[in-house]
Chain A
């Protein structure tokens, strides 16, 4: 019976996945004109920072299957054990930190500047599922839409950067027919990525710097990340759904993946003294520290 239930869940999940919701969906003008106010719902599942250990992909390399999965599990286990061990003493310094509370306080003031009126804000550790999403959408008063913000934060695997990936989506009131594929489509969706300034040379040396003076650097990066995610949420409504040739040249930006310096190609959306916001070809919106200056430019 339990297996049957799991298979049903799997089937539903694959179906929802098969809806192929794009990484980035712009809010259509006709939808925007109907929204009079938003109910913001912030979901912070995590209780504290973890290292963004890269999931292994031996399973894919071996053609999938149980053996590959077992190899993956073993590698993941070893990587997490190593990183958590290194983080051990760092946790003692940041035990009082509450990312959820900080986000809740920041969003209440920042969203006052949102282009659409925000009628209510709920911050919760409870992960959403489709049933609860349906309920939240059903409860919406006429003219309101649901704004979901789902941040996940981590230290890069080399401990040099504090990263936050935030999934943001906007949902209209359901039409009561949860079975229709259309009811699972958001009105707007984007993925916002924040990366802090790099700290130290990596490994335990970086952790020492993050932890120094009662984790002053870490606390500062965490607060900056929240402010930046909210800033990106604010400006996101007016950013194109995807990079366009008309908007100007593409440039490359450096990004620490935790294992190496990766390159992101995209278009500059905002540029100030400390940071640059980039709409990347991968459709994510990145806020990167200015030291990750563009390296090359192409007119593509």
Chain B
């Protein structure tokens, strides 16, 4: 009971804070650096599909190529500051293991002896809010090279959302993890095609609904 009351108070406080800060167009506390850690558990409640008959996947560390590498948005506390967040995406790609792939990390985009090598550039990672919801957008440019030396390029985008329960900066990171975890099923699906040496579409956009369908 007490827990429920505290939760209600927190949500009420966040709501009021949102309304008040919107009215003022400024925030009242300080900006802080967020801890950008990949979280495979931060996802909508859907089953991760494990593929069969697939090839090994080699992941090159993601380049942080965002136009804005300083922030991922703003919370009620101020700017949500970041450094290079390439590692965050790399860790997400390594979690393609959850889809049945044998994944390792490599430093080279050279033609692999087996399987497919993937090199990505992160072009967008940001959050925004509406009402009591936080939304996120993640966009990646991917290059794939297979054992035959065939190179393909593709754009991926996905968004995620969650309720803003505490007004904590970490919730914005969680929402970005929702976005990344909505994007991974599209890559996992494409890798099936790439493993067969076939061509993939040039662009895929995934919202939560698409992640559910995979």
Contacts and interface: CB of A to CB of B under 8 A. Distances in A.
A89 B155 CA distance: 10
A131 B30 CA distance: 6
Given A76-B131, A127-B31, A13 B24 contact: yes
Contacts of A89: 203, 205
B44 to A, nearest CB: 11
Contacts of A199: none
B76 interface: yes
Interface residues of B, number: 58
Interface stretch (A80-88, A105-113, A209-217, A230-238): A80-88
A245 B156 CA distance: 55
A93 B84 CA distance: 25
B25 A167 contact: yes
A55 B130 contact: yes
A17 interface: yes
Interface in A65-99: 66, 69, 72-73, 75-77, 80-81, 84-85, 88-89, 91-92, 95, 98
A73 B66 CA distance: 29
Contacts of A95: 123-124, 139, 155
B133 interface: yes
Interface residues of A, number: 51
Interface of B: 6, 8-17, 20-21, 23-31, 66-68, 70-71, 73-74, 76-79, 81, 123-124, 126, 128, 130-133, 135, 137, 139, 155, 157, 159, 161, 163, 166-168, 203, 205, 207-209
Contact of A125 (B24, B71, B203): B71
Given A13-B17, A47-B124, A76-B133, A129 B207 contact: no
Contact of B159 (A9, A46, A84): A84
Interface in A15-73: 16-17, 21, 45-48, 50, 53, 55-56, 66, 69, 72-73
